[in-house]
Amino acid sequence: MTATAEPTAVVPEDADAPARRRRTPLKLSLKVGLAGVGLFVFVGILSRFWLPSEGGVDAALYLINIGDRLKPPFSPGHPLGTDHLGRDIVVQLMRATSNTLLIISLGSFVAFCVGVTIGLLAAMFRGLPEQGMMRFVDIIFAVPAVLLALVLAAKLGASVSTTVIALGVWFFPVIARVTRSAALTVRERAFISAARTYGRSNIFIAWRHILPNVMSIILVQVTLIMAIGILVEASLAFLGVGTQPPEPSWGRMLKESQDWLGEAPWLGIAPGITIVLAVLAFNLVGNGLRDRLDRRGRDT
């Protein structure tokens, strides 16, 4: 007698959806967002190996040149001017881009791992375990990220790791809620019932069958979270919790510009515009991916 093999392929509700999605052209807003995010990522990676300074990366970040202090934009060798210590604004923005992207990426990764785990477990183990996990999520979600970061900074010290932990802890409840909601829908499908007939455990079903079906929804949420993370990271750096000197940060550049706004307004304008553009780029990508991956949005 020949044994019947367990079906292992993930079965979507709409088999034609991937092909239709490939045929659908990308919206202009999504293209602009992807281009913006790609540019920020390129600049961030480049700043780790090269900065527009004659002395190299170390000289650009650590050397102070009082003779060049507060030079206005479009000065020779300084397209965006210099700060009160004679440091080039372009150099500061480039390296701050790298630091910000690193922090929000690590924070989002922590939130993704913790949130997805809790969300899947809550969806698969109903009853008291689900209620306990989701009430824990609600409690964490009620704590403001800035307050959490300040408490961590008081205990652990102000550092990049403190900001990463604060972002991860504050954002994982959002991921957990989204994952659980999507997983509850997927677990009622026929192929999940078929997997149960073969005696597969809840953990196996969640990892092998449910997670691939909800991953697109989670990734969209992670992209939107990264946009919010830029603002949170800048706020924490402004308060002195995040990236520490001499490494630059958009938020700390804004803080340092306060004493010089009357004399050198470009010190606050440059990082402010950069933050706005970065948040806009990630939001455009998140909204564009959500519209593209949503079946209802594609069918209309």
The residue whose two tokens read 């919790």 is 241
Beta carbons of 71 and 133 less than 8 angstroms apart: no
Tokens read off for 85: 């210590």
- Decide if pLDDT at 62 tops 80: no
* 3 state SS of 282: helix
Tokens read off for 195: 């997997």
Report the pLDDT value the prediction gives residue 144, as an integer from 0 to 100: 80
The Cα 62–Cα 91 span in angstroms is 11
The Cα 150–Cα 153 span in angstroms is 5
User: What does pTM read for this prediction?
Assistant: 0.83
Domains, the chain, with CATH or none: 26-48+71-299 (1.10.3720.10)
pLDDT, mean of residues 130-153? 84
Tokens read off for 282: 């990630």
Question: Which range, 65-69, 149-153, 269-273, 294-298, has the best average confidence (pLDDT)?
Answer: 269-273
Report the pLDDT value the prediction gives residue 32, as an integer from 0 to 100: 93
Query: What is the maximum span of the chain, computed from C-alpha positions, in angstroms?
Result: 88
Q: Estimate to the nearest angstrom the gap between the alpha carbon of 216 and the chain centroid.
A: 15
The residue whose two tokens read 């991937």 is 18
End-to-end Cα, the chain, rounded Å: 49
Beta carbons of 214 and 291 less than 8 angstroms apart: no
